[in-house]
Amino acid sequence: MYNLIMILGILILDRMTKYMAVEYLQKIDTFPIMQGVLHFTYAENTGAAFSILTGKQDLLIVVTGMVIVVMSYYFCREKKHMTAIAQIAMSMVIGGATGNWIDRILFDYVIDFIDFRLIDFAIFNVADSFIVVGAVLLGYAIIFDKASA
């Protein structure tokens, strides 16, 4: 139950931040939080991570949907054998992937707005952050936790 609440919380946070990006950032070029380091900049990503597969929305919708279904099925089936870290990690990845999947279905692109300029990184969003942190935690759980996967 806690995992479902976490997934829904991630979706709500993702939707709220993307709504605010559309409402406030789409009208301006960029909003610096720390000049030259961190900006909020509205962007529409028609590809996957780092804009790979740009313009292949149908493929990305199908593949992402399949990944969400497979991960959710595995998670529900194996949850009782997973450590807390693995459960949190799976929830983060499922929640983040679902957030971006919803964007692709609704808009045909993913709304990005976190612009980390210090290392000239790609513009990303809250869902992307959860996917990456969740994947790292899942990797940790698979490698170091005995009952994780």
pLDDT class of 34 with cuts at 50, 70, 90? very high
User: Alpha carbon of 1 to those of 8, 70, 74, 87, 114: distances in Å?
Assistant: 11, 19, 16, 11, 30
Catalytic residue from among 14, 103, 112, 115:
112
- Catalytic residue status for 128: yes
What mean pLDDT is predicted for residues 63-87? 94
What mean pLDDT is predicted for residues 44-50? 80
- Catalytic residue status for 103: no
**Does the pLDDT at position 58 exceed 90?**
no
pLDDT class of 120 with cuts at 50, 70, 90? confident
Give the H/E segment covering residue 88.
helix 84-107
**Does the pLDDT at position 47 exceed 80?**
no
Ranges of each domain in the chain: 2-19+37-144
**Does the pLDDT at position 93 exceed 70?**
yes
Catalytic residue from among 14, 103, 115, 128:
128
What pLDDT shows up at residue 57? Answer: 83
Cα separation of the two ends of the chain: 19
